[in-house]
């Protein structure tokens, strides 16, 4: 049997972020408050483990309710897939209409900052070093894409690198940007508004707004077809 080349594409309407995030039920907000009062941060993280893996209604409800209870701020309509995890969620600020895919992991730090804007879509198995991270509104984050927000100084050389100081650098992702599947952003990188990062790219330096980059290391390919940087600067 031979495979015929598939040379046709089709367009279908986008779904995520095109409608206002549905308001959470009143009982959910009350439950989040009660959980916050009863468990505290450590207890909520432990409780989350009981509901982290299931795909049923109760598991999904408890995941988003615990995220709401434990984070600094969490908007309405949060969806959290099974197996998604976090560290130091008490440092998180999450907007409305956010989707976090299955097995994604967001690693904060006790003295860090993690801000995720409205209508951000985070694909399955994403990894985010969120010790100093801001993702603005309407960002698409491809499955398996990663953020590295820190690295060891490797100084001095007479000790294991893993025992040298950790340097944390902020990572910023502008609104409307789209990060491709399995792409990686290195510490200190800023992705401009509306930029596109290709699948598998490794981004080592800032990306201009509305630019398209790809490759290892990522290089500028072109501006998005409907964007004229000269006209914008006038």
Q: Name the percent of the chain in helix, strand, coil, to the closest 5.
A: 20, 25, 50
Q: What does the H/E/C string look like for 158-177?
A: CCCHHHCCEEECCEEECCCC
Cβ 203 vs Cβ 178: under 8 Å: no
Active-site choice (16, 88, 152, 222)? 152
Cβ 116 vs Cβ 135: under 8 Å: yes
Give the position of tokens 């490797």: 154
> H or E segment at 99?
strand 99-100
Decide: residue 124, CB within 10 A, 0-12 exposed, 13-18 middle, 19+ buried. Answer: middle
Give the position of tokens 């590295």: 148
Cβ-based neighbours of 220, under 8 Å, separated by 6 or more = 207, 208, 211, 212, 213
Kindly state the DSSP code that residue 98 receives in the 8-state scheme: -
Q: Active-site residue 152, yes or no?
A: yes
Active site residues: 152
């Amino acid at each position: 049997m031979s495979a015929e080349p598939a040379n046709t594409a089709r367009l279908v309407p986008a779904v995520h972020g095109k409608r206002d995030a549905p308001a959470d039920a009143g009982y959910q907000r009350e439950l989040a408050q009660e959980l916050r009062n009863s468990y505290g941060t450590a207890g909520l993280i432990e409780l989350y483990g009981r509901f982290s893996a299931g795909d049923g209604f109760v598991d999904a409800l408890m995941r988003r309710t615990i995220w709401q209870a434990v984070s600094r701020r969490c908007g309405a309509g949060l969806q959290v897939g099974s197996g998604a995890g976090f560290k130091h969620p008490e440092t998180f600020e999450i907007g409305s209409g956010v989707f976090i895919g299955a097995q994604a992991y967001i690693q904060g730090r006790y003295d860090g900052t993690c801000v995720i804007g409205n209508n951000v879509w985070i694909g399955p198995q994403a990894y985010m070093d969120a010790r100093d991270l801001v993702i603005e509104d309407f960002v698409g984050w491809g499955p398996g894409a990663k953020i590295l927000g820190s690295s060891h100084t490797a100084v001095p050389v007479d000790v294991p690198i893993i025992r040298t100081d950790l340097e944390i650098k902020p990572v910023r992702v502008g609104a409307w940007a789209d990060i491709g599947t399995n792409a990686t952003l290195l510490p200190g990188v800023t992705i401009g508004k509306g930029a596109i990062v290709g699948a598998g790219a490794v981004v080592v330096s800032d990306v201009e707004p509305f630019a398209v980059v790809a490759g290892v290391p990522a290089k500028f390919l072109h501006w998005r077809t409907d964007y004229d940087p000269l006209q914008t600067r006038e």
